[in-house]
């Protein structure tokens, strides 16, 4: 009889779930970037931060999701945990920088001159 725990460590399943999670995150980030661009156009503010968020998200979806899928599949097959040492902190730093840039734009727009 098969080991019931072996189904939990299915390399293809783990990689698929990780890829889907990354895709959902990127779609959400694309949406936020589009909303920032739309807000910039209606408020006549430079759309730089929104365009940056949208472009980086699009590039991440093109390059990182496939690579992450392969990496998770390989590490699970090797019996290791598929943790990312660089990608998650880098995405966090990028998100914080974008939030600060958008906040600075809003502050500059609405502060009394």
Q: Which residue, 60, 68, 67, is CA-closest to 27?
A: 60
CA angle 80, 82, 88 (to 5 degrees): 150
Q: Are 78 and 61 a contacting pair, CB within 8 Å?
A: no
pLDDT tens, the chain, 113 aa long: 455 555 555 666 777 777 788 778 888 888 888 888 888 888 887 888 778 878 887 887 777 777 777 777 787 777 776 666 777 788 788 888 888 888 887 888 787 76
What is the predicted pLDDT for the residue at 78?
79
| Ramachandran angles phi, psi of 36, nearest 5° | -65, -40
In total, how many domains does the chain have?
Answer: 1
| Enclosing domain of residue 96 | 4-110
């Amino acid at each position: 009889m098969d080991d019931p725990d072996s189904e939990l460590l299915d390399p293809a399943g783990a990689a698929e779930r990780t890829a889907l999670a990354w895709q959902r995150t990127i779609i959400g980030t694309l949406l936020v970037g589009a909303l920032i661009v739309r807000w910039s156009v209606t408020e006549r503010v430079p759309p730089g931060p929104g365009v940056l968020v949208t472009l980086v998200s699009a590039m991440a979806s093109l390059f990182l999701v496939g690579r992450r899928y392969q990496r998770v599949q390989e590490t699970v097959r090797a019996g290791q945990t598929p943790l990312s040492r660089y990608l998650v902190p880098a995405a966090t730093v990028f998100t914080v920088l974008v939030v600060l840039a958008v906040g600075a734009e809003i502050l500059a727009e609405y502060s009394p001159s």
